[in-house]
Every structure is written in C-alpha cells, then in structure tokens.
C-alpha cells in the first residue's frame, strides 16, 4: 500500500508541475498572447458544454 501511495504522489506531482510549465511557457510568449490562448480555451470549453447539454436543439 505504501508503494502505491508513493507512485500516486509522484504521478500527481508530475501532472501539476507539467501544467505549471505549460502556463509559464504561454505567459513567456507574452501576456496578451496568454490571455488570448486562455480566452480561446475557455470559449471552447463553454461551446462543448453547451453542445453536450443540448442548447442548440429545437
């Protein structure tokens, strides 16, 4: 069980550090570029949620 908890902790740490590096890379490209990319991602997620819920059906 202890080995499993070590592997789980390592996996979660790798995922968190990896996402932080991605965000750092986006904002190194420029603040406005970062805002644009984040805005596009948020709009895409909202669009997918609306399509899944069925907002476009009559």
Question: Number of folded domains in the chain?
Answer: 1
Percent of the chain beyond pLDDT 90?
Answer: 16
* Measured distance between the N- and C-terminal CA atoms of the chain, rounded to whole angstroms: 52
Cβ–Cβ < 8 Å for 50, 42? no
Please check whether residue 58 lies inside any domain of the structure.
no
Please check whether residue 20 lies inside any domain of the structure.
yes
pTM: 0.46
pLDDT at 28: 78
Statement: residue 58 has pLDDT above 70: no
Residue 23 or 36, more confident: 36
pLDDT band of residue 33 (cuts 50, 70, 90) is: confident
Q: What mean pLDDT do residues 29-57 have? A: 84
Domain residue limits at 28:
2-53
Q: Sort 14 into a burial class: Cβ within 10 Å, 0-12 / 13-18 / 19+.
A: exposed
Cβ–Cβ < 8 Å for 29, 36? no
């Amino acid at each position: 069980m202890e080995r499993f908890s070590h592997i789980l902790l390592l996996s979660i740490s790798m995922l968190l550090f990896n996402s932080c590096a991605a965000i750092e890379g986006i904002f190194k490209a420029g603040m406005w570029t970062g805002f644009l990319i984040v805005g596009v991602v948020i709009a895409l997620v909202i669009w997918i949620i609306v399509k899944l819920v069925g907002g476009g059906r009559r």
